Chain A
Amino acid sequence: MGYTLISRQKVDFSNTPQTQVDFTLNADYDEIFFTITGFKSTWDERSCGYQFITSSAGSYDRPIQSTVWGQWLYAYDYSHGTTSYEHAWDSDIGEASSSSTQFARVTMGGDTHKMHSAASGELVIYKPQADNSYKYFLSDASNYNAHVSDFQQYQQSMRTAGYVKDDAALTGIRFVSCNYAGDQDANIAYVDIGMYGLS
Protein backbone atom coordinates (compact mmCIF):
# COMPACT_ATOMS: atom_id res chain seq x y z
CA MET A 1 0.00 0.00 0.00
CA GLY A 2 1.34 3.41 -0.92
CA TYR A 3 1.36 6.69 0.86
CA THR A 4 -1.98 8.08 2.01
CA LEU A 5 -2.67 11.80 2.04
CA ILE A 6 -3.36 12.78 5.66
CA SER A 7 -3.67 16.56 5.35
CA ARG A 8 -2.44 19.56 3.44
CA GLN A 9 -1.78 23.16 4.52
CA LYS A 10 -1.07 26.10 2.28
CA VAL A 11 0.13 29.63 2.97
CA ASP A 12 -0.64 31.67 -0.11
CA PHE A 13 0.35 35.16 -1.22
CA SER A 14 -3.34 36.03 -1.12
CA ASN A 15 -3.52 35.16 2.60
CA THR A 16 -1.89 36.67 5.66
CA PRO A 17 1.75 35.52 6.03
CA GLN A 18 2.10 32.94 8.81
CA THR A 19 4.68 32.71 11.59
CA GLN A 20 4.39 28.93 11.57
CA VAL A 21 2.58 25.97 10.06
CA ASP A 22 1.85 23.22 12.60
CA PHE A 23 0.81 19.65 11.83
CA THR A 24 -0.48 17.22 14.43
CA LEU A 25 1.36 13.98 13.64
CA ASN A 26 -0.77 10.95 13.05
CA ALA A 27 0.38 7.96 15.13
CA ASP A 28 -1.14 5.40 12.75
CA TYR A 29 1.75 5.45 10.28
CA ASP A 30 5.29 4.05 10.33
CA GLU A 31 6.52 6.74 7.95
CA ILE A 32 5.35 10.32 7.61
CA PHE A 33 6.26 11.92 4.28
CA PHE A 34 6.06 15.68 3.73
CA THR A 35 6.13 17.42 0.37
CA ILE A 36 7.22 21.05 0.69
CA THR A 37 6.45 23.10 -2.38
CA GLY A 38 7.39 26.66 -3.33
CA PHE A 39 8.64 27.87 0.05
CA LYS A 40 9.23 31.63 0.24
CA SER A 41 9.98 33.71 3.29
CA THR A 42 9.08 37.35 3.89
CA TRP A 43 12.80 37.98 4.50
CA ASP A 44 15.85 37.35 2.31
CA GLU A 45 18.20 34.42 2.82
CA ARG A 46 15.78 32.48 4.98
CA SER A 47 15.29 28.71 5.01
CA CYS A 48 12.34 26.46 5.74
CA GLY A 49 13.01 25.01 9.18
CA TYR A 50 11.19 22.48 11.32
CA GLN A 51 10.98 21.35 14.94
CA PHE A 52 9.06 18.71 16.87
CA ILE A 53 6.96 18.47 20.00
CA THR A 54 6.19 15.37 22.07
CA SER A 55 3.47 14.49 24.52
CA SER A 56 5.93 15.16 27.35
CA ALA A 57 7.46 18.38 25.98
CA GLY A 58 5.92 21.80 26.45
CA SER A 59 7.04 23.33 23.18
CA TYR A 60 8.71 22.73 19.83
CA ASP A 61 12.27 22.47 21.09
CA ARG A 62 13.49 18.86 20.81
CA PRO A 63 17.22 18.12 20.51
CA ILE A 64 18.08 17.30 16.89
CA GLN A 65 21.32 15.89 15.52
CA SER A 66 21.85 16.00 11.77
CA THR A 67 24.46 16.08 9.04
CA VAL A 68 23.92 17.98 5.82
CA TRP A 69 25.39 17.67 2.34
CA GLY A 70 25.13 20.86 0.31
CA GLN A 71 26.15 22.25 -3.06
CA TRP A 72 25.52 25.45 -5.01
CA LEU A 73 25.90 26.62 -8.62
CA TYR A 74 25.90 30.25 -9.75
CA ALA A 75 24.59 30.34 -13.32
CA TYR A 76 25.91 33.87 -14.04
CA ASP A 77 29.53 32.76 -14.30
CA TYR A 78 29.17 28.99 -13.74
CA SER A 79 31.04 29.22 -10.48
CA HIS A 80 30.13 26.63 -7.91
CA GLY A 81 30.92 25.65 -4.38
CA THR A 82 32.91 22.67 -3.37
CA THR A 83 30.80 19.92 -1.88
CA SER A 84 30.23 20.92 1.68
CA TYR A 85 28.53 19.55 4.70
CA GLU A 86 27.17 20.97 7.87
CA HIS A 87 27.27 19.27 11.17
CA ALA A 88 24.11 20.51 12.81
CA TRP A 89 23.80 21.21 16.49
CA ASP A 90 23.87 18.38 18.95
CA SER A 91 21.92 19.74 21.87
CA ASP A 92 21.24 17.78 24.98
CA ILE A 93 17.76 17.66 26.44
CA GLY A 94 18.50 20.47 28.87
CA GLU A 95 19.85 22.83 26.25
CA ALA A 96 17.06 22.08 23.83
CA SER A 97 14.41 22.94 26.39
CA SER A 98 15.87 26.43 26.83
CA SER A 99 14.18 29.45 25.29
CA SER A 100 16.62 29.56 22.36
CA THR A 101 14.68 27.22 20.14
CA GLN A 102 16.53 26.18 17.03
CA PHE A 103 15.00 24.67 13.93
CA ALA A 104 16.53 22.06 11.65
CA ARG A 105 16.61 23.24 8.03
CA VAL A 106 15.07 21.37 5.14
CA THR A 107 16.15 23.97 2.56
CA MET A 108 18.86 26.54 2.08
CA GLY A 109 17.94 30.20 2.04
CA GLY A 110 16.42 32.19 -0.76
CA ASP A 111 15.70 35.74 -1.84
CA THR A 112 12.25 37.24 -1.77
CA HIS A 113 12.34 39.71 -4.64
CA LYS A 114 11.59 37.37 -7.54
CA MET A 115 8.59 35.10 -7.93
CA HIS A 116 10.75 32.22 -9.15
CA SER A 117 12.97 32.31 -6.09
CA ALA A 118 11.60 29.41 -4.10
CA ALA A 119 12.58 26.17 -2.39
CA SER A 120 10.94 22.76 -2.67
CA GLY A 121 11.70 19.36 -1.27
CA GLU A 122 10.78 16.36 0.82
CA LEU A 123 11.06 15.27 4.43
CA VAL A 124 10.51 11.73 5.70
CA ILE A 125 10.21 10.81 9.39
CA TYR A 126 10.42 7.19 10.44
CA LYS A 127 8.30 5.72 13.23
CA PRO A 128 7.36 9.06 14.83
CA GLN A 129 5.10 7.27 17.29
CA ALA A 130 7.92 5.12 18.77
CA ASP A 131 8.25 5.69 22.51
CA ASN A 132 11.47 3.77 23.15
CA SER A 133 13.91 5.04 20.53
CA TYR A 134 15.16 8.12 18.74
CA LYS A 135 13.27 9.18 15.61
CA TYR A 136 15.24 9.29 12.34
CA PHE A 137 14.55 11.51 9.35
CA LEU A 138 15.80 12.26 5.84
CA SER A 139 15.28 15.38 3.76
CA ASP A 140 16.17 16.41 0.21
CA ALA A 141 15.49 19.88 -1.14
CA SER A 142 16.64 22.44 -3.69
CA ASN A 143 16.08 26.13 -4.14
CA TYR A 144 16.36 28.22 -7.27
CA ASN A 145 17.04 31.89 -6.73
CA ALA A 146 17.29 35.14 -8.55
CA HIS A 147 20.47 37.01 -7.70
CA VAL A 148 20.43 40.68 -8.69
CA SER A 149 18.58 40.05 -11.96
CA ASP A 150 16.53 37.45 -13.80
CA PHE A 151 19.65 36.33 -15.63
CA GLN A 152 21.84 35.75 -12.60
CA GLN A 153 20.47 32.60 -11.04
CA TYR A 154 21.86 30.28 -8.48
CA GLN A 155 20.73 26.89 -7.34
CA GLN A 156 21.38 25.27 -4.01
CA SER A 157 20.81 21.66 -3.00
CA MET A 158 20.64 20.27 0.48
CA ARG A 159 20.36 16.68 1.70
CA THR A 160 20.06 15.94 5.38
CA ALA A 161 20.02 12.86 7.58
CA GLY A 162 19.51 12.99 11.30
CA TYR A 163 17.48 12.08 14.30
CA VAL A 164 15.39 13.61 17.04
CA LYS A 165 17.13 12.69 20.26
CA ASP A 166 14.04 12.01 22.30
CA ASP A 167 12.49 8.68 23.33
CA ALA A 168 8.98 10.12 23.58
CA ALA A 169 6.55 9.83 20.68
CA LEU A 170 6.46 12.82 18.33
CA THR A 171 3.03 14.42 18.40
CA GLY A 172 3.55 17.47 16.23
CA ILE A 173 5.84 19.23 13.74
CA ARG A 174 6.21 22.98 13.16
CA PHE A 175 7.49 24.58 9.95
CA VAL A 176 8.90 28.12 10.12
CA SER A 177 11.09 30.60 8.27
CA CYS A 178 14.54 30.66 9.88
CA ASN A 179 18.07 31.85 9.24
CA TYR A 180 21.18 29.77 8.54
CA ALA A 181 21.61 29.05 12.26
CA GLY A 182 18.06 27.77 12.72
CA ASP A 183 16.72 30.86 14.46
CA GLN A 184 13.21 31.89 13.41
CA ASP A 185 12.90 35.57 12.53
CA ALA A 186 10.40 36.02 9.69
CA ASN A 187 7.03 34.98 8.33
CA ILE A 188 6.30 32.34 5.73
CA ALA A 189 5.01 34.15 2.64
CA TYR A 190 4.20 31.01 0.66
CA VAL A 191 4.40 27.27 1.11
CA ASP A 192 2.24 24.29 0.25
CA ILE A 193 2.90 21.31 2.53
CA GLY A 194 1.35 17.89 2.11
CA MET A 195 1.54 15.27 4.85
CA TYR A 196 1.32 11.62 3.75
CA GLY A 197 1.45 8.43 5.80
CA LEU A 198 2.72 4.93 5.09
CA SER A 199 1.40 2.12 7.28
Chain B
Amino acid sequence: MATKAEHITALKAQYSSLSKMVDGVSSTLSDSEYEATIDDWATTRAAEDVRKALIESGGESAAYVEHRTNVHSGYGYKSLPDQLDQLWHDIDEGKLDKTGSWYTAIKAVKDKYTKPS
Protein backbone atom coordinates (compact mmCIF):
# COMPACT_ATOMS: atom_id res chain seq x y z
CA MET B 1 0.00 0.00 0.00
CA ALA B 2 1.59 3.23 -1.17
CA THR B 3 1.27 6.59 0.54
CA LYS B 4 0.14 9.75 -1.23
CA ALA B 5 3.76 10.96 -1.34
CA GLU B 6 4.85 7.70 -2.92
CA HIS B 7 2.09 7.98 -5.50
CA ILE B 8 3.20 11.54 -6.30
CA THR B 9 6.74 10.32 -6.88
CA ALA B 10 5.55 7.44 -9.07
CA LEU B 11 3.17 9.62 -11.10
CA LYS B 12 5.85 12.26 -11.72
CA ALA B 13 8.22 9.53 -12.85
CA GLN B 14 5.55 8.20 -15.20
CA TYR B 15 4.41 11.60 -16.49
CA SER B 16 7.02 14.34 -16.82
CA SER B 17 4.29 16.48 -18.38
CA LEU B 18 0.55 16.25 -18.93
CA SER B 19 -1.68 17.47 -21.76
CA LYS B 20 -5.30 18.52 -22.11
CA MET B 21 -7.57 18.83 -25.13
CA VAL B 22 -9.93 21.81 -25.36
CA ASP B 23 -12.20 22.22 -28.38
CA GLY B 24 -9.88 20.08 -30.48
CA VAL B 25 -6.61 21.75 -29.47
CA SER B 26 -4.12 19.84 -27.32
CA SER B 27 -1.83 21.81 -24.99
CA THR B 28 0.60 21.07 -22.18
CA LEU B 29 -0.57 21.74 -18.64
CA SER B 30 1.07 24.69 -16.91
CA ASP B 31 3.35 23.97 -13.94
CA SER B 32 0.62 24.83 -11.44
CA GLU B 33 -1.98 22.76 -13.33
CA TYR B 34 0.48 19.86 -13.50
CA GLU B 35 1.21 19.96 -9.76
CA ALA B 36 -2.51 20.22 -8.88
CA THR B 37 -3.40 17.34 -11.21
CA ILE B 38 -0.69 15.06 -9.87
CA ASP B 39 -1.77 15.91 -6.31
CA ASP B 40 -5.40 15.07 -7.10
CA TRP B 41 -4.53 11.77 -8.74
CA ALA B 42 -2.22 10.78 -5.88
CA THR B 43 -4.96 11.58 -3.34
CA THR B 44 -7.42 9.34 -5.20
CA ARG B 45 -4.98 6.46 -5.61
CA ALA B 46 -3.87 6.57 -1.96
CA ALA B 47 -7.52 6.45 -0.84
CA GLU B 48 -8.15 3.53 -3.18
CA ASP B 49 -5.17 1.68 -1.71
CA VAL B 50 -6.74 2.01 1.75
CA ARG B 51 -10.05 0.66 0.43
CA LYS B 52 -8.40 -2.31 -1.30
CA ALA B 53 -6.40 -3.13 1.84
CA LEU B 54 -9.64 -3.26 3.80
CA ILE B 55 -11.16 -5.65 1.28
CA GLU B 56 -8.12 -7.93 1.26
CA SER B 57 -7.79 -8.03 5.03
CA GLY B 58 -11.51 -8.52 5.68
CA GLY B 59 -12.89 -7.42 8.98
CA GLU B 60 -16.03 -5.53 9.84
CA SER B 61 -17.27 -3.43 6.99
CA ALA B 62 -20.56 -1.88 5.93
CA ALA B 63 -19.77 -3.13 2.41
CA TYR B 64 -19.58 -6.77 3.51
CA VAL B 65 -22.30 -7.90 1.07
CA GLU B 66 -20.40 -6.47 -1.90
CA HIS B 67 -17.13 -8.02 -0.70
CA ARG B 68 -18.78 -11.43 -0.28
CA THR B 69 -20.59 -11.49 -3.63
CA ASN B 70 -18.22 -9.73 -6.04
CA VAL B 71 -16.82 -12.68 -7.99
CA HIS B 72 -14.34 -10.42 -9.80
CA SER B 73 -12.51 -9.46 -6.61
CA GLY B 74 -11.18 -12.97 -6.09
CA TYR B 75 -11.89 -12.72 -2.36
CA GLY B 76 -15.62 -13.46 -2.08
CA TYR B 77 -17.83 -16.44 -2.92
CA LYS B 78 -16.91 -18.53 -5.93
CA SER B 79 -19.16 -18.47 -9.00
CA LEU B 80 -22.34 -20.58 -8.90
CA PRO B 81 -20.93 -23.24 -11.30
CA ASP B 82 -17.84 -23.58 -9.09
CA GLN B 83 -20.01 -23.85 -5.96
CA LEU B 84 -22.17 -26.54 -7.59
CA ASP B 85 -19.01 -28.43 -8.51
CA GLN B 86 -17.88 -28.26 -4.89
CA LEU B 87 -21.26 -29.61 -3.75
CA TRP B 88 -21.08 -32.47 -6.27
CA HIS B 89 -17.66 -33.50 -4.97
CA ASP B 90 -18.79 -33.15 -1.35
CA ILE B 91 -21.80 -35.44 -2.02
CA ASP B 92 -19.66 -37.87 -4.01
CA GLU B 93 -17.14 -38.07 -1.17
CA GLY B 94 -19.80 -38.30 1.54
CA LYS B 95 -18.79 -34.95 3.02
CA LEU B 96 -22.04 -33.00 2.78
CA ASP B 97 -21.44 -31.62 6.25
CA LYS B 98 -19.29 -28.99 7.93
CA THR B 99 -16.10 -30.67 6.68
CA GLY B 100 -17.02 -30.37 3.00
CA SER B 101 -15.29 -28.00 0.57
CA TRP B 102 -18.43 -25.95 -0.10
CA TYR B 103 -19.23 -25.31 3.57
CA THR B 104 -15.66 -24.44 4.54
CA ALA B 105 -15.24 -22.06 1.59
CA ILE B 106 -18.51 -20.24 2.32
CA LYS B 107 -17.72 -20.00 6.02
CA ALA B 108 -14.25 -18.60 5.30
CA VAL B 109 -15.79 -15.74 3.30
CA LYS B 110 -18.45 -15.06 5.93
CA ASP B 111 -15.81 -15.02 8.66
CA LYS B 112 -13.57 -12.69 6.66
CA TYR B 113 -16.23 -10.16 5.69
CA THR B 114 -18.26 -9.99 8.85
CA LYS B 115 -21.68 -8.41 9.10
CA PRO B 116 -21.47 -5.21 11.16
CA SER B 117 -23.24 -5.53 14.50
Q: Which residues of A contact B (CB under 8 A)?
A: 7-9, 11, 15-24, 74, 77-79, 147, 154, 179, 181, 183-187
Max chain A C-beta neighbours (<10 A), residue from B18, B20, B21, B81:
B21
| Size range of the chain B interface in the assembly | 20 to 34
Distance in Å: Cβ of A115 to nearest Cβ of chain B: 21
A24–B79 Cα distance when bound, in Å, is: 46
Indicate whether B5 reaches chain A with its CB closer than 8 angstroms: no
Which residues in B have their C-beta under 8 angstroms from that of A24?
A: 23
A181–B20 Cα distance when bound, in Å, is: 22
A154–B79 Cα distance when bound, in Å, is: 14
CB-based nearest B residue for A195: B23
CB-based nearest A residue for B47: A183
Contacts A15-B26, A16-B26, A20-B20 given: A183-B79 contact, CB under 8 Å?
Answer: no
Q: Provide the main secondary structure of the chain A interface.
A: strand
Indicate whether B29 reaches chain A with its CB closer than 8 angstroms: yes
B44–A23 CB distance below 8 A: no
CB-based nearest A residue for B7: A185
A8–B21 Cα distance when bound, in Å, is: 11
Contacting A179 at CB < 8 Å: which of B29, B48, B79? Answer: B48
A77–B84 Cα distance when bound, in Å, is: 12
A23–B47 Cα distance when bound, in Å, is: 30
A154–B19 Cα distance when bound, in Å, is: 31
Distance in Å: Cβ of B24 to nearest Cβ of chain A: 5
Interface string of B67-96 (1 = CB under 8 A from A): 000011000000111100000000000000
